[in-house]
Chain A
Amino acid sequence: MLSDIRYYSSPLRVSDAVNELKKGKGKWAVFAGGTSAVLGRMGNVSGFISLKNCGLDHITQSRTELSIGSMARIQDILENKAAQKFAKGLLYKASYRIGSTLNRNLITLGGNIIQIYRWSDLPVALLVLDSKVNVKGPASRTLKFSDLLKKHPKTVLKYTDIVTEVRIKSPSGVFGTEFITFSKTEFDYALCNVAVFIQMNEKKCKDIRIAFGALQPLPFRAYKLEKMMKNKVIIDELIREVAEEASKSTEVSSDFRASREYKKHLIRVLLERAIKGAMKSA
């Protein structure tokens, strides 16, 4: 509840922010874009430590990787030339679908990957790009994004941990990507998100990563499906087989938005389209 908030500070350095969080003993939380924080979706919190002055809003590309500061807004990712083109527009496609312009101007990359909801869009794309996450805290470290998602990121991170940036290796070789989302209206939350990254060697699939979102509490990689395609010559029949398997083996349940059967249908159709889309862009 916002009426419980008694303390606010906006330190100039990440190390000072970490110290502030230590002082708060778990009662003070990181404040990023605020779109979840001000709606009181952070539990029992009595202070906010804002990262706005910590200089974490960069988007930079080197020869080998794209690095995005955790305070970069989703709209910054959409408007940044390097981010737009990165991985054949995969980050752009996933960011384009998040909320509205009025909210994308607030929502940060860090907030979007820590405050994950089942329908969160960008984490699905980050999963297939094998992203890494830099964390500063009493024990600074680099985590694989997939490891941050083993449980909810809020339980993987300690209350003194601050995500400072996401780093994504520039894909090489002949590769293609696709991100497809399905929702009832343009603005509604996703019912099913699919991201695919594929690397080709002639007609053979050298490597593939498939991730789904909005189907289970957290986005996930579909390793079993990836195995079905790796080192195989990709023909329509194989794609159909993989999509069938995805529909059969993915655990989903009915909710007020859609039935289990409908979601299973979506998985099959969207995965088939996403694999074909990724191959087309390769």
Chain B
Amino acid sequence: MIIKLIINNEEKEFTIKPGDILLDVLRREGYKGVKKGCGTGECGACAVLLNGRAVNSCLVLAAEADNSRIVTIEGIGTTEKPDPLQESFVEAGAVQCGYCTPGMIISAKALLNKKKDPTDTEIKKALDGNYCRCTGYVKIIDAVRMAVKKMKNK
């Protein structure tokens, strides 16, 4: 079957099988920033924005996403023009191996799109499905707070 997606503001068409998983389709089509960790909805490495909501793409059937808008980490910012969240993750030292970082930023982005000034509890709740096995969570939460400040001062 053929599905149409708008990925990072570009219209795309893919041929898929009815049982294909969105994560696998995205990676196959070159969106390698979307990571595969557990593949069972536990770790958040595969997070993308699906119609504005952060979801684990390993639990989304590609067919089910037909006609949706998807944002992957590639659509959040570029090396030349990074998003405040991406800058803050670097500046706060919230990245070590970096495997969890795309998912963390996607979850944080979904939160900041809804709440300009989230509380610490709201930040932690928004990131509750993203595991980091290197950094611990203190600097990651610092990075989100730092991004909030940057966005306010813009």
Which residues of A line the B interface, CB within 8 A?
1-8, 10, 31, 33-35, 37-39, 47-48, 50, 52, 75, 99-103, 105-106, 186-187
Contacts and interface: CB of A to CB of B under 8 A. Distances in A.
Contacts of A103: 41, 55-56, 59, 129
Contact of B59 (A35, A47, A50): A35
B26 to A, nearest CB: 14
Contacts of B47: 102
Given A1-B19, A34-B64, A38-B21, 17 more contacts: A3-B19, A4-B19, A8-B63, A10-B63, A10-B64, A31-B64, A38-B58, A38-B60, A39-B40, A48-B63, A100-B128, A100-B130, A101-B125, A101-B127, A101-B129, A102-B129, A106-B60
Most chain A CB within a 10 A radius of its CB, from B64, B66, B110, B128:
B64
B132 to A, nearest CB: 13
Interface in B39-66: 40-41, 44, 47, 50, 53-56, 58-61, 63-64, 66
A105 to B, nearest CB: 4
B72 to A, nearest CB: 14
A102 B59 CA distance: 10
Given A35-B41, A39-B40, A102 B56 contact: yes
Contact of B18 (A35, A48, A187): A48
B46 to A, nearest CB: 9
A99 B43 CA distance: 11
A186 B19 CA distance: 32
Nearest to B22: A38
A75 B107 CA distance: 14
Contacts of A39: 40-41, 59
Contacts of A7: 18
Contacts of B130: 100, 102
A187 B1 CA distance: 36
Contacts of A3: 19
Contacts of A187: 128-129
Nearest to A187: B128
B17 interface: yes
